């Protein structure tokens, strides 16, 4: 999975003239992929965030010069994706669901990649751009969030994979994708 993610990102990065840092960061590592179907009865301590996209394999693979840039069936062509960004500064099918949620302190949040592209679920102090300058500019986020410049390989969530974080502190936490920076979720963590 690591090699796959790096491959996808590496080629995409090269195609889009991205510079990507490998510094370490502190977010919890990837989740065990078994856990995400196990919602608790109360729904209080395990929460799911779905990461969605609608990439069209033929056009995305061609544009990103990567035969596995998009691992799903059909969808929005790369050209239409860019057109949507130019018009709306986002492509709506690329989103986190839900966009906001309330959880109890100590809860686990599991982000599951239901799309065909690699995403990240990165906690940031302030929403900002990610690691792909073209997408930053098209989405109106010209300045990268510092956290996105300090990703480690385990931060990249491949299609079908999951990434878990534990909310250990009350307050408001912001999560975004560091590839598609308009993909965002706001989490309100209530104290116990």
Nearest partner of 160 among 50, 55, 57, judged by Cα: 50
Q: How far is the CB of 176 from Cu ion (least distance, A)?
A: 9
Q: How far is the CB of 157 from Cu ion (least distance, A)?
A: 9
Q: How far is the CB of 177 from Cu ion (least distance, A)?
A: 3
The nearer residue to Cu ion, 36 or 182, going by C-beta atoms, is 182
Query: Does residue 177 belong to the site contacting Cu ion (CB under 5 A)?
Result: yes
Cα(126)–Cα(175) distance, integer angstroms: 9
Nearest partner of 169 among 97, 96, 99, 109, judged by Cα: 109
Query: Does residue 138 belong to the site contacting Cu ion (CB under 5 A)?
Result: no
Which residue in the set 179, 181, 187, 189 belongs to the binding site for Cu ion (CB under 5 A)? 179
Residues 104-133 that bind Cu ion (CB under 5 A): 119
The nearer residue to Cu ion, 39 or 126, going by C-beta atoms, is 126
50, 66, 142, 183 from 97: Cα distances, Å:
5, 27, 24, 9
Query: Does residue 95 belong to the site contacting Cu ion (CB under 5 A)?
Result: no
The nearer residue to Cu ion, 45 or 84, going by C-beta atoms, is 84
Q: How far is the CB of 121 from Cu ion (least distance, A)?
A: 9
Contact 140, 90 (CB under 8 A): no
The nearer residue to Cu ion, 151 or 179, going by C-beta atoms, is 179
Please classify residue 25 by burial: count the beta carbons closer than 10 Å to its beta carbon, then call 0-12 exposed, 13-18 middle and 19+ buried. middle
Q: How far is the CB of 73 from Cu ion (least distance, A)?
A: 18
49, 85, 148, 153 from 88: Cα distances, Å:
23, 5, 23, 30
List of residues contacting Cu ion (CB under 5 A): 119, 177, 179-180, 183
């Amino acid at each position: 999975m690591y090699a796959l993610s790096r491959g996808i990102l590496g080629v995409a990065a090269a195609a889009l003239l991205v510079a990507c840092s490998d510094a370490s960061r502190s977010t919890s590592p990837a989740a065990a992929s078994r856990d995400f179907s196990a919602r608790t009865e109360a729904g209080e301590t395990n929460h799911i965030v779905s990461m969605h996209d609608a990439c069209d394999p033929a056009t995305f693979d061609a544009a990103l010069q990567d035969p596995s840039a998009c691992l799903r069936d059909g969808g929005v062509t790369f050209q239409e994706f860019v057109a949507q960004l130019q018009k709306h500064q986002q492509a709506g099918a690329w989103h986190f669901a839900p966009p906001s949620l309330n959880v109890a302190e100590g809860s686990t949040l599991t982000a599951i990649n239901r799309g065909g592209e690699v995403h990240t679920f990165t906690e940031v102090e302030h929403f900002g751009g990610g690691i792909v300058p073209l997408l930053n500019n098209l989405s109106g986020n010209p300045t990268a969030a510092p956290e996105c410049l300090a990703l480690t390989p385990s931060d990249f969530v491949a299609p079908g994979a999951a990434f878990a974080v534990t909310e250990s502190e009350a307050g408001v936490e912001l999560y975004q994708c560091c590839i598609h920076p308009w993909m965002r979720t706001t989490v309100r963590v209530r104290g116990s």
